[in-house]
Amino acid sequence: MRVDREAAMPGNRAVVYQGAGQVEVRDTDYPTYELQDGPGVNKENVGRKVPHGVILKTVASNICGSDQHMVRGRTTAPEGLVLGHEITGEVVDVGPDVEFIKVGDLCSVPFNISCGRCRNCKERKTGVCLNVNPDRPGSAYGYVDMGGWVGGQAEYVLVPYADWNLLKFPDRDQAMEKILDLAMLTDIFPTGYHGCVSAGVTSGSTVYIAGAGPVGLAAATSAYLLGAAVVIVGDLNEERLAQARSFGCETINVADGDPADQVQQILGHDAPAIGQPLVDSAVDAVGFEARGHGENAQTEMPATVLNSLMTVTRAGGAIGIPGLYVTGDPGGVDDAAKVGSLSLRLGLGWAKSHSFVTGQCPVMKYNRELMMAILHDRVQIAKNVNATPIRLDQAAQGYADFDKGAARKYVLDPHGVIA
């Protein structure tokens, strides 16, 4: 049954990027089943019909480090862009071509927008769908160069290809009891898990994770879920390192010196006989705004993390790279960095036969199984990342606090239903 949307249509408010360092909550258009022109919308997508979509009433929409890159002015995002790609919500209206999703369903939205029809989607590579973004393979809500699909840090949002994209929670009451955990399924939990799977984490693995932000903490959580014996998290932020220690991680502050030396001290006799501080698997949860180590800890050095991971990972090991790297960075430290060209020690990685996996996490590859782990109390992801609900009108403060390094995962609660 469809709701008469014209009769019942409420207003809408959303978090809008207003230029470097600025976001504000503004009145915006209620979603329709046709893409409208606007900031960041690819011209080839203007007028695109979406009868296969639904409109969600947003229950939770998280602030992500990827959003923060845009808000810092470190991408080519246009002013006026509605932000938000981590969306959980209730279906309030369905398009005429939607068959299985119903009004009232409570669902998780993968941050990847995918069609379910192209070759890549059929191969479960939903992070590089071929049909939703005229610029390049892959798309996301509210993100620069991703086709212009409107973001979900809003009261209401359109989700295309709903039968394919939405993960329906099996029991609404149970889901609301665990909503902060389930809100992590849209991005950071699958992304951290994908980083670990890509790095070959398994029973008994020793793992080094660069970055103790929400994705790094989600990766550490995932490493334990996969059976890792030792999980070491490195960062510059002591508050975030304390959050990692709160669920059993070993930690190193990379401001104190070379991560390799500190990893060696932690592994001790478990390190290889040749004395090198080598882990089985490593995960880059930092990305292109990486800083150096030791005396360079306050200097931006975008290749630092990737090069250090090749140093600390054993020969034949693997490195997962869910940390974001971009093709356009106006604030890059040099001309090469501004176009995403970094000085990597690829020869070292080649000599050690490392494997690397980069790119968007294909969320749908993992989200159902991770949902089951949450619903059956196998993991407490919200606790581990310190998920903190705030009102929609507190978004600007949430972004500011997150930018200062708060050890929290801020979850916007547009309708006041989480608390």
- Note the pLDDT tens digit of each residue in 347-385: 999 999 999 999 999 999 999 999 999 999 999 999 999
Answer yes or no: are the C-beta atoms of 93 and 3 closer than 8 Å: yes
Distance (Å, whole) CA 290 – CA 323: 10
The pLDDT tens digits for 194-253 are: 999 999 999 999 999 999 999 999 999 999 999 999 999 999 999 999 999 999 999 999
270 pLDDT higher than 70 = no
Gyration radius from the chain CA atoms: 21
* Mean pLDDT of the region 51-72: 96
Q: What is the pLDDT of residue 298?
A: 86
Angle subtended by helix axes 238-245 and 214-225, to nearest 10: 20
- In eight-state DSSP terms, residue 74 is -
User: Partners of 282 in the beta sheet?
Assistant: 208, 319
Print the SS3 string covering 246-293: CCCCEEEEHHHCCHHHHHHHHHHHHCCCCCCCCEEEEEECCCCCCECC
Give CATH 3.90.180.10 domain extents, the chain.
5-187+362-413
Q: Name which of 33, 197, 34 is nearest 124 in CA terms.
A: 197
Q: Name which of 110, 128, 106, 109 is nearest 118 in CA terms.
A: 128
Distance (Å, whole) CA 381 – CA 397: 23
254 pLDDT higher than 60 = yes
5 pLDDT higher than 50 = no
Instruction: Give the list of residues 6+ apart from residue 237 with CB closer than 8 angstroms, or none.
Output: 212, 405, 407
* Mean pLDDT of the region 88-101: 98
The pLDDT tens digits for 207-219 are: 999 999 999 999 9
Element (H, E) at 19: strand 13-19
* Mean pLDDT of the region 75-88: 95
Q: Is 394 helix (H, G, I), strand (E, B) or coil?
A: helix
A 10 A CB-CB count for 100 gives 11
User: Partners of 319 in the beta sheet?
Assistant: 282, 356
Distance (Å, whole) CA 419 – CA 259: 40
289-304 CB burial, b ≥16 within 10 A, e <16: bbbbbeeebeeebbbb
Instruction: Give the list of residues 6+ apart from residue 278 with CB closer than 8 angstroms, or none.
Output: 271, 272, 312, 313, 314, 315, 317
Cα–Cα distances in angstroms (integers) from residue 116 to residues 34, 99, 101, 131, in the given order: 19, 14, 15, 9
User: Partners of 59 in the beta sheet?
Assistant: none
Distance (Å, whole) CA 156 – CA 414: 9
Structure tokens at 51: 């009868």
The pLDDT tens digits for 107-161 are: 999 999 999 999 999 999 999 999 999 999 999 999 998 999 999 999 999 999 9
64 pLDDT higher than 60 = yes
Structure tokens at 270: 């478990």
Instruction: Give the list of residues 6+ apart from residue 400 with CB closer than 8 angstroms, or none.
Output: none
Cα–Cα distances in angstroms (integers) from residue 286 to residues 215, 216, 236, in the given order: 8, 8, 11
Residues in the chain: 419
Mean per-residue pLDDT over the chain, rounded: 93
53 pLDDT higher than 90 = yes
Answer yes or no: are the C-beta atoms of 120 and 129 closer than 8 Å: yes
Answer yes or no: are the C-beta atoms of 277 and 317 closer than 8 Å: no
The yes/no answer on whether domain 188-358 falls in CATH 3.40.50.720 is yes
Give CATH 3.40.50.720 domain extents, the chain.
188-358
Q: What is the pLDDT of residue 294?
A: 87
Distance (Å, whole) CA 302 – CA 38: 32
Q: Name which of 303, 302, 259, 284 is nearest 359 in CA terms.
A: 284
**The domain 5-187+362-413: what is its CATH number?**
3.90.180.10
* Mean pLDDT of the region 61-75: 93
The pLDDT tens digits for 325-353 are: 988 888 888 999 899 899 999 999 999 99
Q: Is 356 helix (H, G, I), strand (E, B) or coil?
A: strand
Distance (Å, whole) CA 211 – CA 290: 9
Structure tokens at 413: 């609660």
Structure tokens at 352: 């050690």
323 pLDDT higher than 60 = yes
Q: What is the pLDDT of residue 231?
A: 98
